[in-house]
């Protein structure tokens, strides 16, 4: 006799239990010591159940920081709605990103500094035009180009350069912790100023 299908509430509870187990193992043992079998055991479910709720280990790990990233995108969208001038808007967007990196350090490290081990399948690559996070920055760059504030050029490339520079100002002191690099929001503020000046040349 077939088992009765799980209710939506039961599916949600199981999924949350699996996520919680993955978060504990990740926090206590790091990415190199995490496995589907270990998570399933910790959650009290079968490996098959884990795969029924998540496509694999990569999808499960990405789900751990999905909600905070949605909140970040919503914050960025609010900044866009509240700032009409392209230059001021881009500055506020970049400052919001830096604020998020300080406020949500664990999420930031996992979502924006995550180095995927070879044992975990790569996620499907998403085109930049389909990514909400990247798009809010790019649209500000494009608007600045249309009004003559920002330099001409490929807006995707210019946005990637600006984001890479500001991201680097946040992550370099963490990645190169053996060096006494400045790791303050003030330093990232200097990088934002530099990038806005560069965009205007």
Q: Are 50 and 39 in contact (CB under 8 A)?
A: yes
The string of pLDDT tens digits covering residues 140-149 is 999 999 999 9
- pLDDT for residue 115: 66
**Distance in angstroms (rounded) separating the CA atoms of residues 114 and 26:** 12
The string of pLDDT tens digits covering residues 147-175 is 999 999 999 999 999 999 999 998 887 76
The CATH H-level (homologous superfamily) assignment of domain 8-64 is Homeodomain-like (1.10.10.60)
Domain residues of the chain, as ranges? Answer: 8-64, 67-200
> Tokens for 186?
């003030």
pLDDT higher than threshold 90 for residue 110: no
The string of pLDDT tens digits covering residues 172-187 is 877 677 777 776 668 8
- pLDDT for residue 197: 97
- pLDDT for residue 2: 59
- pLDDT for residue 171: 85
Give the CATH architecture of domain 67-200.
Answer: Orthogonal Bundle (1.10)
The string of pLDDT tens digits covering residues 46-103 is 888 888 888 888 788 778 777 888 899 999 999 999 988 999 999 999 999 999 998 8
Section 137-142 average pLDDT:
97
Quote the Cα angle for 125-129-135, to 5°.
115
**Distance in angstroms (rounded) separating the CA atoms of residues 125 and 123:** 6
**Distance in angstroms (rounded) separating the CA atoms of residues 88 and 111:** 26
- pLDDT for residue 77: 96
């Amino acid at each position: 006799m077939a088992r009765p299908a799980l209710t939506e509430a039961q599916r949600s509870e199981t999924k949350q239990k699996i996520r919680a187990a993955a978060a504990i193992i990740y926090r206590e043992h790091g990415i190199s010591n995490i496995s589907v079998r270990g998570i399933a055991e910790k959650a009290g479910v079968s490996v098959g159940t884990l795969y029924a709720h998540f496509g694999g280990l990569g999808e499960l790990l990405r789900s751990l920081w999905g909600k905070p990233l949605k909140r970040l995108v919503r914050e960025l969208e609010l900044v866009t709605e509240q700032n009409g001038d392209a230059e001021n808007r881009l500055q506020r967007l970049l400052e919001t990103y830096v604020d998020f990196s300080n406020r949500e350090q664990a999420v930031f490290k996992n979502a924006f500094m995550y180095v995927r081990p070879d044992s975990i399948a790569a996620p499907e690559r998403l085109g930049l035009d389909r990514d909400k996070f990247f798009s809010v920055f790019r649209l500000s760059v494009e608007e600045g180009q249309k009004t003559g504030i920002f330099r001409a050029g490929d807006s995707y490339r210019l946005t990637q350069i600006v984001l890479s520079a500001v991201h680097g100002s946040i992550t370099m002191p963490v990645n190169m912790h053996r060096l006494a690099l400045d790791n303050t929001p003030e330093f990232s503020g200097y990088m934002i100023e530099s990038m806005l000046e560069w965009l205007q040349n």
